Amino acid sequence: MSPTPETAAASGPYAIVEASGQQFWLQPNRYYDFDRVAVDVDGNFTIDNVLLVNDGKATTLGQPYVKGASVALKVMEHRRGPKIIVYKMRPKKKTRRKNGHRQELTRVMVESISVGGMAIA
């Protein structure tokens, strides 16, 4: 039986972090889209709000955060998400309102996950 994508992804190191009001499952050498971050392109920043760290063998769960854990990220580009159309209409009143929205995003690459100053990935 071959491993499913969920179990294959879970076998390597990963971290679950809290960023921009959401929780993200981060793995090294992958990119993710966060809400716009005020860091220049090719700049680096770290996230210290790490909820869970798995180094491939053992899992460390924070209460609420793992002490000494951080994730180093590199900003690849600033971009915009897909357009979302919001259309409101009141029937029989001849009232219509059409509005569009594109979310400002930042694409980041996970460079390393570290616990206690030592990089696990």
**pLDDT class of 7 with cuts at 50, 70, 90:** low
**pLDDT class of 20 with cuts at 50, 70, 90:** confident
Greatest mean pLDDT among 4-8, 89-93, 115-119 lies in 89-93
Tens-digit pLDDT profile for residues 71-115? 999 999 999 999 999 999 999 999 999 999 999 999 999 999 999
Tens-digit pLDDT profile for residues 31-49? 999 999 999 999 999 999 9
* The predicted structure's pLDDT at residue 2: 47
Question: Read out DSSP for 28-64?
Answer: TT-EEEEE--S--TT-EEEE--EEEEE-SS-EEE-SS
Indicate if the pLDDT at residue 70 is higher than 70.
yes
Tens-digit pLDDT profile for residues 47-63? 999 999 998 889 999 99
Rounded to two decimals, what is the model's pTM?
0.80
Phi, psi at 86, each rounded to 5°: -110, 120
* The predicted structure's pLDDT at residue 3: 52
Q: Which two structure tokens, joined as six digits, stand for 12?
A: 């390597």
